[in-house]
Structure formats: structure tokens, C-alpha cells
């Protein structure tokens, strides 16, 4: 790992390093607490460095390429004065960790929980999350995934517009705040993942081009020129990105990263950026003595993402499974088929359970071409599935969560469909109790032209989803838009919210204790539909002796189902229509013990599970 940025060496001495291969000179400009200006020395690889005395943690500094203008450090650990201000020296060794008993968790045990730091609590800080960790742990959640916390412009943002990949956002609590949160999570048995963006940088505070050719017009992304991984002067860019995961693992004890939209990263080199990154992560694992994970978001529908790098793959531990969300959603909300036109039959939902990708080479109307390849045989623990995430709510005109779009009975059905699936499940913050506050897209850029560009961009996007002429949507720049997204935690102990919380807690406990639900071998899974109204998923153990029948009725009518006759007796394990799970409707629970070959009536919008005796 290249020690770029400011490395505090103790005794009020700090070494500064920055990559700028085409620059002739580089000056370090310390501006606080005492001004210093020092010329930096350049090595053969284009790195400038200097060791400065009387520079302690908390000192503020800039770099000046070719003597022209002060810019913050591209590898800044902290930007206390936002993206345009000076960088600050951080002593990562100063924090006293208390997680020595934390050795991580196997990936297959994770129950993920995606959250946005700014809207999770009224305070919107890392430390404000800590008092809620017991609630999450009691629900069964053991891995939180923080939406990007890198330094972005202003105080309100989803984080995907960050411009400092090594800096922790100042308004969330900075480096110390993040370390306190991770430390507290580990003491509660909760892993911490960071969502991070390596495919582009935001529009404000992006000074990388002032130092080196970090971007290339060889490839174009939705956000402009791509990061330069294989063009001229790409070596330093590759180091900058491939060192970044290790930085988080080492200095913040992070357990894993979720990488945003990796399909918009391009590298045709003999050793691509993924192979390089995997090599460094493997070394970090050996040094730390615990597993460190990389999860990808990828739009390609390709098993190559999770295939070992030695076999030509990209080496990720898992990837998000958007197809599962899309096909499940269209059976929960009648408007779903308008939103996802290529998802329309129950056989596709069965395929999502059995194989993973729904689109595996078929013609896709949305793309006007064939898309994807088969993921049959890829173990279920190589996919992360969900019913809701930041994109699904935030890219709606009204920011509606699933709880606002469908009935309470279908919410329970959706939760069962996810948590009884052969995939690693992820909940979006508040989903565990059916939170119904909106989750909008929000920003707090400084440049009025950037603010207007975002506003107009959202308007164009929403025009495709029913935004009528003259109609408007919540302004992303308005602080009230942000404040409306904050969770209402008091709800989780009240009425229907408490019932939903107990339902999801029960499902997680069943998933954690049932042998069949812990089996990610999809060769041991059967899935088939009942007249486009219901889905039957049969799970079994590796020995083929124990079975679990998960029945999902997505229709508004009862449907008949004959329990398999290869087992003499079946016992009901879970039923969403029992009294304890009902709000307004009368219970319609099924019989507890049923003989093999007997017909049962699956109740409307219900989920029921039978296990073999």
C-alpha cells in the first residue's frame, strides 16, 4: 500500500506524498496552526514527497502543483472545512480500539441493513447511531451498510457525489466519529460495510485533474469521462483506487465494501483493476487475521463478477441481485409492470429463486437487445437480495417506500419472500418496522449551476415516470426535503409497526436456526408457480432428508396447493395469517399438522411455511 497523503510519524513530524507525474514542482503549504511552505521532491514514479517538522495532527495544509494554486490533498483523510478547504493531518494510530474480540462473521451469516447516516437519526451523525445498535441487534441485523460517507460538497447528500475517497465527511463526525461507530458495532456483534464509489467523482471539489490524468476520454460514463485505469499515466490512478479498500480495512476496521456501479469502470490491462485490488485485499486479510469482503453492484448480469480472478473473474465475494427485486415487485404492486416492462411472469420469479438472474441472454425491451447470461449453479451466498434500497425509494417522484405502495399483508409477504430466499438479505433502514416516511434524493451543493443541473436532471428523469406538465417534485436542494426523510423511530414500538418488527424478527430467527434456510446450494431448491398467482419454493438439506415448503400467494383469492406426498407429515412453521400478525383483518390461519398429499388453501396475500416431520 502506497502511503499517499499525510502520514503522521510521531514527534510532531509528518510525511506528505502526492502523485503528479507531469508536474515539474510541488509545494506543501501548511496553513494552520503555523504557516510553512516546503518544496517537495519528485521520484521516478511521479510521486512528490517531503517530511515536515512541527506538523502535528490537526494541522491544515494544501498542495501547490507547479506553483499555480493551492489545492486540497487528493488523498486527504479529513476535510474539516468542506471540499474547497484545507486538508487536515490525522493520526490514525491515536484512536484506542476496543474491538480486540471481534473476528468478523462468515458472509453467509449476514443480515444487511443499508442506512444513510444523515437521515437515520435526528442528529445525523455516526455517534448518534450507536444508541440504536441494540435495537438492530435484537431484530437480528448483524451488518450495517453505510451509504457513502466520503467527503462530499455541503452537509446533505446521498454520498455518491463525493470527491475525496480517503476522507470521512465532516458533518457526520469525521474520522473519530466513524471509528467510534465501528468500534461500538463490533462490540455488539455487528459488522460494518461502506458503500463506496470508484466509477466517478462528484462535480464540486474534484481537483484530481489539477494533479494528474486521473480521467480519460477513452471511455464515457453517465457522469462524464471515466477513471483512467488503462490509458497513459494510469499507474498512479490504479494505485490510488486499489489502495483505498485497504485504507478503510486497516485504519477504520471496516469489514467490507460495497462498490457502486462497477460496470462503469473500464480496464483492458493484462492485470485489471479488480485483480490488483483483490491481491491487496488478500494481503490485508493475512495481516488482520479476519475476512474482508468486497460486494459489487453490477448491471451486466454476469457470473464473472463473483468468479475467482485466477479463473478470469473479478473476484467479488457477492453482487447485488436487482432482478430479484424487480420480478418480486411486479407481483406486489399492480403498477410494477409499467415500471419494469421486462418482468411479467411468475416463472421469472421462480427462476430468480432457482438461478438468480432473470435475464440470462433473453431479448430485453428496456435495453433493445439480449442481456445477461445464466447464473444457474452460482451459490446463493454470492448474491445480496432486497425488496427496497436507496435507489428504489429515492428515484420515485414521491420518494415512496414499499410500505406506502402496498398493503400491510403484502408487506409481510414481501418480507417472507426475501428472508426465506436462498440469498443474503438486505433491509433498507426503517424497513424492519414498515417506516413510511419518504426517502428523497437531496443535495447541498454550493455552485448554483450544479444545483440547477441536478434539479433539471431529476425533472427529466421523472418525466419518464408520470411527472405531468406543471407538476413538480420535492426540490433536492431544499433542506426540508432532507428533513422529511429522517426516520421516526418511535413508531417501531406502536401498532402495525410493532407487528411488522416482530414479524421480521421472527423471520430472521427462523432463517438463522433452520438448517434448510442456511443451505445456499440452489441444486437443493425447487421453485414453481401456481397459475401466475402463487409461488412454491421447496428447500432441503444436503442429505435430502429434511424439507421446507415455502408457499407465497400473491393474489387476492385463496388458491389450492397439494403438499408433497414424499413426506408423510408436514408441520406448520410460520403463517402470516395467524392472529398475532394481523392488523385489521380477521385471522385465516391454516391447520398446524397436515398429511403429505393433502390439499391446503393458501390465503390471499399470505405466506405460510411447512416443514417435514
- Which parts are annotated binding residues for substrate? 258-263, 322-326, 390-395
CB 151 within 8 A of CB 79: yes
| CA dist list (Å): 9 to 90, 179, 315, 432, 607 | 11, 20, 35, 45, 59
Other Cβ atoms less than 10 A from the Cβ of 544: the count is: 8
How deeply is 147 buried, as exposed, middle or buried, from its count of CB atoms within 10 A (0-12, 13-18, 19+)? buried
Distance CA 166, CA 51 (A): 20
Strand (E) positions, 349-460?
Answer: 362-364, 369-371, 383-386, 424-428
| CA dist list (Å): 152 to 30, 83, 446, 602 | 23, 7, 11, 50
3-class SS at 437? coil
Distance CA 133, CA 438 (A): 22
Considering Cα of 391, then 392, then 396, then 402, what sign does the dihedral take? negative
Distance CA 528, CA 534 (A): 9
Considering Cα of 150, then 153, then 155, then 158, what sign does the dihedral take? negative
Give the residue numbers annotated as catalytic, written as ranges.
Answer: 260, 297
Residue 477 is classified by DSSP as: T
- Dihedrals φ, ψ of 534, to 5°? -140, 165
Which pairing describes strands 525-530 and 5-8: parallel, antiparallel, or unpaired? unpaired
Residue 484 is classified by DSSP as: T
Residue 71 is classified by DSSP as: B
3-class SS at 271? coil
CB 342 within 8 A of CB 354: no
CB 15 within 8 A of CB 7: yes
Burial track 376-390 (b if 16+ CB lie within 10 A, e otherwise): eebbbbbbbbbbbbb
CB 147 within 8 A of CB 159: yes
Strand (E) positions, 495-533?
Answer: 525-530
What pairs with residue 1 in β-bridges? none
Closest listed residue to residue 18, CA positions, set 10, 9, 27, 31 = 27
Distance CA 198, CA 157 (A): 17
How many DSSP H helices and E strands does the chain contain? 16, 30
Query: Dihedral angle at the C-alpha atoms of 137, 143, 144, 147, nearest 10 degrees?
Result: -170
Considering Cα of 244, then 281, then 297, then 222, what sign does the dihedral take? positive
Amino acid at each position: 500500500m502506497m502511503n499517499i497523503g499525510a502520514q503522521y510519524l510521531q514527534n510532531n513530524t509528518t510525511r506528505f506524498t502526492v502523485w503528479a507525474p507531469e508536474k515539474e514542482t510541488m509545494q506543501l503549504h501548511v496553513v494552520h496552526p503555523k504557516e510553512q511552505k516546503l518544496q517537495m521532491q519528485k521520484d521516478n514514479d511521479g510521486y512528490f514527497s517531503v517530511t515536515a517538522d512541527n506538523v502535528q495532527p490537526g494541522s491544515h495544509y494544501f498542495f501547490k502543483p507547479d506553483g499555480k494554486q493551492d489545492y486540497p490533498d487528493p488523498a486527504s483523510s479529513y476535510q474539516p472545512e468542506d471540499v474547497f478547504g484545507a486538508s487536515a493531518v490525522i493520526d490514525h494510530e491515536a484512536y484506542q480500539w476496543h474491538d480486540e474480540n471481534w473476528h468478523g462473521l462468515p458472509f453467509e451469516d449476514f443480515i444487511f441493513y443499508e442506512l444513510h447516516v444523515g437521515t437515520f437519526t435526528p442528529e445525523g451523525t455516526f455517534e448518534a447511531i450507536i444508541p440504536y445498535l441494540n435495537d438492530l441487534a435484537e431484530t437480528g441485523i448483524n451488518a450495517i451498510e453505510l451509504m457513502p460517507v466520503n467527503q462530499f460538497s455541503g452537509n446533505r447528500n446521498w454520498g455518491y457525489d463525493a470527491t475525496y475517497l480517503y476522507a470521512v465527511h465532516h458533518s457526520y463526525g469525521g474520522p473519530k466519529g466513524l471509528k467510534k461507530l465501528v468500534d461500538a458495532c463490533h462490540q455488539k456483534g455487528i459488522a460494518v460495510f461502506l458503500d463506496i464509489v470508484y466509477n466517478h467523482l462528484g462535480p464540486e471539489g474534484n481537483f484530481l485533474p489539477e494533479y494528474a490524468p486521473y480521467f480519460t476520454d477513452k471511455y464515457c460514463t453517465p457522469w462524464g469521462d471515466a477513471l483512467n485505469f488503462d490509458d497513459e499515466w494510469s499507474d498512479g490512478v490504479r494505485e490510488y483506487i486499489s489502495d483505498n479498500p485497504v485504507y478503510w480495512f486497516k485504519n477504520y476496521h471496516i469489514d467490507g465494501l460495497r462498490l457502486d456501479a462497477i460496470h462503469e469502470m473500464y480496464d483492458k490491462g493484462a492485470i485489471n483493476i479488480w485483480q490488483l485490488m483483490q491481491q491487496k485485499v488478500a494481503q490485508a486479510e493475512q495481516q488482520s487475521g479476519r475476512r474482508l469482503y468486497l460486494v459489487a453492484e453490477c448491471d451486466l448480469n454476469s457470473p464473472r463478477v463473483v468468479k475467482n480472478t485466477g479463473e478470469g473473474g473479478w473476484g467479488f465475494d457477492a453482487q447485488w441481485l436487482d432482478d430479484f427485486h424487480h420480478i418480486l415487485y411486479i407481483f406486489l404492486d399492480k403498477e410494477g409492470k409499467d415500471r419494469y416492462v421486462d418482468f411479467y411472469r411468475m416463472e421469472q420469479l421462480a427462476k430468480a429463486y432457482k438461478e438468480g438472474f432473470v435475464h440470462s441472454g433473453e431479448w430485453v425491451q428496456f435495453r433493445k437487445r439480449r442481456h445477461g447470461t445464466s447464473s444457474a449453479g452460482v451459490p446463493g451466498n454470492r448474491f445480496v437480495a432486497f425488496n427496497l434500497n436507496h435507489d428504489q425509494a429515492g428515484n420515485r417522484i414521491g420518494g415512496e417506500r414499499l410500505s406506502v405502495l402496498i398493503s400491510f399483508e403484502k408487506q409481510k409477504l414481501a418480507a417472507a419472500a426475501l428472508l426465506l430466499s436462498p440469498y443474503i438479505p438486505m433491509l433498507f433502514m426503517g424497513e424492519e418496522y414498515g417506516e413510511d416516511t419518504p426517502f428523497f434524493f437531496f443535495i447541498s451543493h454550493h455552485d448554483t449551476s450544479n444545483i440547477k443541473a441536478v434539479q433539471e436532471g431529476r425533472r427529466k428523469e421523472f418525466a419518464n415516470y408520470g411527472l405531468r406538465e406543471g407538476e413538480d417534485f420535492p426540490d433536492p436542494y431544499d433542506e426540508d426535503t432532507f428533513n422529511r426523510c429522517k426516520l421516526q423511530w418511535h413508531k417501531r414500538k406502536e401498532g402495525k409497526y410493532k407487528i411488522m418488527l416482530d414479524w421480521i424478527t421472527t423471520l430472521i430467527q427462523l432463517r438463522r436456526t433452520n438448517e434448510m434456510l442456511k443451505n445456499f446450494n440452489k441444486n437443493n431448491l425447487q421453485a414453481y408457480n401456481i397459475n401466475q398467482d402463487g409461488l412454491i419454493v421447496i428447500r432441503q438439506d444436503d442429505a435430502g432428508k429434511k424439507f421446507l415448503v415455502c408457499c407465497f400467494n400473491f393474489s387476492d383469492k385463496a388458491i389450492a396447493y397439494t403438499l408433497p406426498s414424499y413426506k408423510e407429515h408436514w408441520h406448520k412453521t410460520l403463517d402470516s395469517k395467524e392472529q398475532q400478525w394481523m392488523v385489521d383483518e380477521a385471522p385465516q390461519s391454516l391447520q398446524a399438522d397436515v398429511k403429505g398429499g393433502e390439499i391446503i388453501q393458501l390465503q390471499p396475500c399470505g405466506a405460510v411455511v411447512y416443514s417435514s416431520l
